[in-house]
């Protein structure tokens, strides 16, 4: 009986924390480390973190701009850093 109650409370707490995280959005740090972590998570780890941290202070002027970057969706964050991907012109096969 007590085991069931404890298990139920644990499940309820887990669900509640997921809901709060979903409603609150990402944690914004306003730091280069946070901005790089966001970018790296969006690029699935295919980024040199040292290079990101070295270049970050030259790109972002203050805490507010860093927080704005951290709040971008992944596609927008990647486009901000990498630029818009160009697509080669193609013709439709006839």
Name, in order, each residue with C-beta under 8 angstroms of 57's C-beta and a sequence gap of 6 or more: 32
Please give the model's pTM, rounded to 2 decimal places: 0.64
CA distance 51 to 27: 23
Do 67 and 33 contact (CB within 8 A), yes or no?
A: no
Residue ranges covered by each domain of the chain: 43-83
Between the alpha carbon of residue 40 and those of residues 28, 31, 60, 70, 87, the distances in Å are 15, 14, 17, 11, 24
pLDDT, greater one: 92 or 33: 33
Q: What confidence tens digit (pLDDT) does each residue in 28-64 have?
A: 999 999 999 999 999 986 789 999 999 999 999 999 9
């Amino acid at each position: 009986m007590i085991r069931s109650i404890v298990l139920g409370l644990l499940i309820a707490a887990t669900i509640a924390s997921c809901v709060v995280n979903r409603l609150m959005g990402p944690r914004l740090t306003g730091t280069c480390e946070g901005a790089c972590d966001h970018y790296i998570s969006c690029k699935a780890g295919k980024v040199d973190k040292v290079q990101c941290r070295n270049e970050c202070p030259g790109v972002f002027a203050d805490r507010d701009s860093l927080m704005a970057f951290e709040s971008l969706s992944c596609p927008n964050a990647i486009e901000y850093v990498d630029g818009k991907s160009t697509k080669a012109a193609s013709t439709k096969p006839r």
